[in-house]
Amino acid sequence: MFLTLLSVLSFYSKAMAEARERTFIMIKPDGVHRGLVGKIIKRFEAKGFKLVAMKFMWADKALLEKHYADLAGRPFFPGLVEYMSSGPVVPMVWEGLNVVKTGRVMLGATNPADSVPGSIRGDLCIQVGRNICHGSDAVESANKEIALWFGEKELVNWQPYPWQDLPDDYGKDGFSRINNLKQRFPHLKGAPPSKIVVGLPFYGRTFVSELEGKLGDSADSQGFKGPYSNEHGFMGYNEICSSLQNSSYDWKTEWHDESSQMVARYTDPVTRKGHSVTYDTTRSIANKIKFITRKELAGAMCWSIDTDDFKGSCPEENDTYADFGQYPGVKLNIPTAPKGSFKLLKTINEAMQLASVEWQQEKDIEFAKKQAELDKQNEIPHKETGNTASSLYKTVLPILLVLLPTIVIL
C-alpha cells in the first residue's frame, strides 16, 4: 500500500510538473513587420496554453549572439544575427501540458517547405530565412532561453477562470454569471471594482416570434435585420429610432423595470409574426451610469458611437432621469432631456455628474442620521426639573424653620 501511495504521489507530481511546463516562443522581425503577432498569439491561446510573459523589443546583437551561441560556428551565423537585429521582436513564455513539444508542432518545420498545412510556418511563410518564429526544442533549452530573455519578476504566475467547468444554465444575465462564479469558485477573488469597466451598448437585440413578441414568448433562432446594419438580430439605436417613426408598422413600446430597458414590438402584417427589439434608451443609459457610480467602478465604455443618434433624428426622451432624486432629502438640478445629435453620449456625460452629486448627498444624509443616533446613545440622562425642585423644597424648608428663631434672636 505504501508503494502504491508513493507511485500515485509520483504520478501526481509528474503530471503537475508537465502542466506547468514552459517554452520560449519568439516572433521574429518578419512576423512583426507582416502584422502576424496577433494571429500567432491567438493560435497558442486557442490551443489552451497560458501566456505568462511577453515583450515587444528591439534586441541588440550581444543578446542575440548569446541566444544563438550553439550556431556560432555556422557560416550563416553573422547573417542570422544581422537579420534578427534588423527589427523588433516579440519574445514570449507560454505554459501548459507538453507545451515545448506541442509548440514545435504548431510552429512547423524550420523550413516552411517541409511544414504541414495548418502549422504556423506551413500557412504563413515560404522562406527558411524568414520563418516567422523561434521555438524552444527541449525543456532544458526553454529554461535557458527564458532565463536569458526574462527576469524572474517578469514571469507572471496566474490562474485562468475555469470557464469549461461552468454549468449549462450559465449566462442568463450578467449578474447571475457573477453570482455563479462566486458560489462555485470562492477562491477566485475577481477583479477589484476600481479595475472594472462596464460596456454600454448603443444597440438593441431583435427577435422574431410566432406569438406577439412579448417578453417570455418563444423566439425563432434568428432575429430580424436592421435597415442599415443589415445584420440578423441587431439594430443600432439610430436604426431603432428610424424604425419606430415608420408609420407602416404599428410599434408598441414598453419600459421594463426589472431589466431597465425599453421593449418595442409590432406584428408583421404579412407573416403575422411578432417582431420585438430590446434596447437601451437615454433612461437606461443614465441608470447604468448611476449603477457604475454607486459601485465605484472604473468607468464605462460604449459600443459603438456610430450607432448613436448622430443625425439627431431620434425624438426627445423626457424620462431620461425619471429614476433620479427619489431618495428622501436629496435635492438635484435635473437637466432637461438630451437634444440634437448623439443623445446617448450626452446622457453619459450629464448622468456622470448627476449620479455623483446624488450619491454623495445620499451618503451625507445617511451619515447625518447615524451621527444623530450615536449622539442620542451617548447623551447623559437628567432627572426631571419638577421632581428636583420638589425634593429640594422638602429638604431645605425644615432647616430654615429650625434656624429662624436663632436668626431673629441675633
**Rounded average pLDDT over 394-405:** 55
| The pLDDT of residue 247 | 84
In the block, cell 445584420 appears at 231
pLDDT tens-digit readout, 208-236:
999 888 888 888 889 999 988 899 999 99
Residue 140, phi then psi, degrees to nearest 5: -65, -45
Own/partner pairs, 1-4, CB within 8 angstroms, 24+ separation? none
> Please, are residues 238 and 307 in contact by the beta-carbon 8 Å criterion?
yes
State pLDDT tens for residues 131-184: 999 999 999 999 999 999 999 999 998 876 554 444 545 444 444 555 555 555
Mean pLDDT computed over 362-383: 86
Residue 23, classed as helix, strand or coil, is strand
Share of the chain above pLDDT 90, in %: 63
pLDDT tens for residues 263-308?
A: 999 999 899 999 999 999 999 999 999 999 999 999 999 988 899 9
Higher per-residue pLDDT: 371 or 176: 371
Q: Is 130 annotated as a binding residue?
A: no
Question: Residue 73 is placed in which grid cell?
Answer: 560556428
Beta bridge partners of residue 130, listed in sequence order: 127
From 67, 134, 256, 382, active-site residue = 134
20 annotated to a ligand binding site: no
> Does 7 have pLDDT greater than 90?
no
User: Are β-strands 274-279 and 261-267 bridged in parallel, bridged antiparallel, or unpaired?
Assistant: antiparallel
Task: Please give the pLDDT value at position 70.
Answer: 92
131 assigned ligand-binding residue: yes
Q: What pLDDT is attached to residue 9?
A: 41
| Number of Cβ atoms within 10 Å of the Cβ of 111 | 13
pLDDT grade for 191, boundaries at 50, 70 and 90: confident
Q: With beta carbons less than 8 A apart as the criterion, state whether 270 and 243 touch.
A: no
Average the pLDDT over 307-336 and give the result: 93
The span from the CA of 73 to the CA of 152, in Å, is 31
Q: Tell me: is residue 110 an annotated ligand-binding position.
A: yes
3-state secondary structure of 148: helix
Cα gap 347→282, rounded to integer Å? 6
Q: What is the pLDDT of residue 19?
A: 66
Q: Collapsing DSSP states into helix, strand and coil, what is residue 410?
A: coil
Lookup: cell for 100: 515545448
pLDDT in tens, 41-73: 999 999 999 999 999 999 999 999 999 999 999
pLDDT at 213: 84
If we measure between CA atoms, which residue out of 82, 102, 103, 83 comes closest to residue 92? 103
Domains along the chain with CATH numbers: 18-154 (3.30.70.141), 192-370 (3.10.50.10)
Contacts of 62 by beta carbon, 8 Å cutoff, 6+ apart: none
DSSP state of 80: H
Reported as a single tens digit per residue, the pLDDT across 13-49 is: 454 556 689 999 999 999 999 999 999 999 999 999 9
* 111/383: higher pLDDT: 111
134 is catalytic: yes
Alpha helical stretches, state H, 185-281: 237-244
Q: For residue 45, is it left (φ>0), alpha (ψ between -120 and 50) or beta?
A: alpha
* Residue closest to 239 by CA, chosen among 318, 320, 304, 322: 304
Q: Indicate the average pLDDT of the chain.
A: 85
Could you report the per-residue pLDDT of 83-104, keeping only the tens digit for each?
A: 999 999 999 999 999 999 999 9
| Strand partners for 232 | 225
Mapped onto helix, strand or coil, the DSSP state of residue 351 is helix
